[in-house]
Amino acid sequence: MFADGGEASGQSNGSATRSNGSVATASQHATMPGFTNGTHKGALSTNGSLLGDKGSPRTGDQPPSTYFGHNREEVTRILIQALSDMGYQAAAESISRESGFDLESTTVAAFRSAVLTGAWAEAEKLLAGAALTDSRASGGNGLILAAGSDRNVMRFWLRQQKFLELLEQRDTSKALMVLRGELTPLYQDTSKLHFLSSLLMCRSPQDLMIKANWDGARGQSRRQLLSELSRCISPSVMLPEHRLAVLLEQVKQKQIDTCLYHTAASSPSLYSDHMCDRRNFPAEVALELTDLAGEVWQVQFSHDGSMLAACGSRENVMIWDTKTFTLVHALPDHELGVGNIAWSPDDSLIMTCSQDKYARLWDAKTGSLVKKVRKFDEPVSGCVWSSDSASFVLGTLDRNHSLCSFKVHDNECVEWEKKHRVQDLCGSPDGRWLVAVEDTHNIHVYNAHSRELEYHLDLGVRPTSVSISQDSRFLLVNKQDGEAQLINLSTRAAVQKFLGHTGGDYLIRSSFGGANESFVASGSEDGKILIWHKNIGAAVERLAGHTPRCNAVCWNPADPCMLASCGDDGRVKIWSNKHKTAELRSRHPKPANGWRNSVDEV
């Protein structure tokens, strides 16, 4: 199938570090102002100092200043914080007494308490007395700002919270005084001040929370404010939140990033170094499905992994149940074939983007047609769903209607008024980005909310397909020259290249996948399936896929040991490891059911 919508045979085919150390609930945190970034009792007072007025350290030889090369004070304070996070308060206090180190000074604890209890005057007073550099000889009250921190920005954050809480209390006059007398003198961003001013018109606290994207004084807003402020305070006096949990997560991620055949869906154990067995990697053909007939151009698993859809040069789109790979629906009447398919985020609907210049919306459960979107002048090439499954954006090769937004439950159309021939389309899971591939050398990156162009990239060669990682950070681009690129969407920089497959005039699709999205997989003009390690760029598998061409590869998002591929041979292949292959074949219907054989029966 040609990549640019050309008429070769009358057809074209057209997703942060986790901190999870806290045991106390949000409501518990809100009622315990003495807690640290994590948790902490007020009894743990001075920052990193020896016990001072609490008494002398334990007798005997002083312990070395390092622990296996790490600063002993830093390690001890991090352990105290972690024990407090996990609820072992007595143990935390015991270590503090025995070691002579405490988590933070009384000033830092007082600042934390002031923020969490809404004592804004006290918080500002403590902030005013903070030292500007991390030097204990430089004076100050014990609160030390991190290098590059702006005290006025921190004041603005405190006063903004105060302003919002006054509005929540319906004390508009005091809120107005704060806006005019306290916020305005600090901030030069007039658009921000105008936005805050507009909140004075909110009719209710609920209206305020919606418009300000803020959950109120009793929600998490104060704790979120404290988290922001803590980034401006030196970690020597105020540890970053859940520091041990963050460090452990980084260790785990590093091991995952260097595991060549990572297939473990669960988090690695801390007890031993992590390494997955190559025998668990999905490199065996478990099943071949030939219900579709004709060329197969695209395969796509549902988000929950329970269904697989495939489309191609014939009029039907097929949907299988992935437990048994029984055919459950054949979606008919697509003249000239279907170049792309897109599941809604809740998997209740599926959009088919057809070469007959229509897009069709189907009920994925019943297989019934929900609606047929208007006819364009060129084939529909792609679809991006909103996160609530209530609306979608269509991309087409029709230059006059290249990007259009629709709602599921009405026929309203919003034209983006862009003059592209959109060959492929993808959106980020966080709803921020929409990326359109033109039929030249260009990729256009849009703000999905405002529909404004953020930037465009000229790759120097025609891109054929695009997809975005689940963390919404990276764009994967397959190119006509047989190279795939990984691009950081924020910095616009190419961070990895993947080589070894062949490109050409046809649309070859690549995708992210595997456990923790550790891999990139792609079809190839020579029929092979290439799988690379995403972070190091190394090819870990080169599989004999389809003849003469492998058009697409898709990883099951719920099963790191299952791939699907498709090609011009009319086959959809399901790949797994040896153990799971036996399971899949045992559950798959036999030929007597009248439709499909497993690979050992072909």
pTM of the model: 0.73
Residue 598: predicted pLDDT: 40
User: What backbone phi and psi angles, to 5 degrees, belong to 479?
Assistant: -120, 160
Percent of the chain past pLDDT 70, that is, above it, reads 87
Could you give the CA distance from residue 542 to residue 142 in angstroms, rounded to a whole number?
60
The CA–CA distances, whole Å, from 113 to 34, 42, 226 equal 6, 10, 10
pLDDT digit string, tens, across residues 106-147:
999 999 999 999 999 999 999 999 998 655 545 678 899 999
DSSP conformation class of 591: G
Bigger pLDDT: 276 or 1?
276
For domain 316-458, the CATH class is mainly beta
Structure tokens of 51?
């016990």
Could you give the CA distance from residue 583 to residue 588 in angstroms, rounded to a whole number?
9
The three-state secondary structure class of 468 is: strand
Q: At what angle do helices 120-128 and 151-168 cross, to 10 degrees?
A: 180
**CA of residue 90 relative to chain centroid, distance:** 38
How buried is residue 493: exposed, middle or buried, by Cβ count under 10 Å (0-12/13-18/19+)?
exposed
pLDDT digit string, tens, across residues 176-229:
999 999 999 997 788 889 999 999 999 999 999 999 999 999 999 999 999 999
Place of tokens 């060129």: 378
- 478, 463 Cβ separation under 8 angstroms: yes
What lies within 8 Å, CB to CB, of 248 at 6+ separation is 270
DSSP conformation class of 491: T
Percent of the chain past pLDDT 90, that is, above it, reads 77
Structure tokens of 398?
């029709």
Could you give the CA distance from residue 573 to residue 554 in angstroms, rounded to a whole number?
11
Say which amino acid occupies 119.
A
Could you give the CA distance from residue 391 to residue 545 in angstroms, rounded to a whole number?
36
Place of tokens 């005057």: 121
Residue 3: predicted pLDDT: 59
Structure tokens of 507?
């649309």
Other C-beta atoms closer than 10 Å to the C-beta of 580 total: 18
What lies within 8 Å, CB to CB, of 349 at 6+ separation is 343, 361, 362, 363, 364, 370, 389, 408
- 204, 93 Cβ separation under 8 angstroms: no
How buried is residue 563: exposed, middle or buried, by Cβ count under 10 Å (0-12/13-18/19+)?
buried
Could you give the CA distance from residue 565 to residue 509 in angstroms, rounded to a whole number?
10
Name residue 353's beta-bridge partners.
Answer: 340, 359
Could you give the CA distance from residue 354 to residue 361 in angstroms, rounded to a whole number?
11
pLDDT digit string, tens, across residues 315-347:
999 999 999 999 999 999 999 999 999 999 999
The three-state secondary structure class of 113 is: helix
pLDDT digit string, tens, across residues 289-310:
999 989 999 999 999 999 999 9
Could you give the CA distance from residue 573 to residue 551 in angstroms, rounded to a whole number?
12
Place of tokens 């009920």: 363
| CA nearest to 116, candidates 230, 14, 235 | 230
Dihedral-angle region of residue 421 (phi above 0 means left; psi in -120 to 50 means alpha; beta otherwise):
beta
| CA nearest to 290, candidates 332, 320, 322, 265 | 320
Average pLDDT over every residue of 344-362: 97
DSSP conformation class of 334: -
Could you give the CA distance from residue 193 to residue 201 in angstroms, rounded to a whole number?
14
**CA of residue 395 relative to chain centroid, distance:** 23
Average pLDDT over every residue of 30-56: 40
Structure tokens of 602?
């072909």
Average pLDDT, the chain: 87
Residue 591: predicted pLDDT: 63
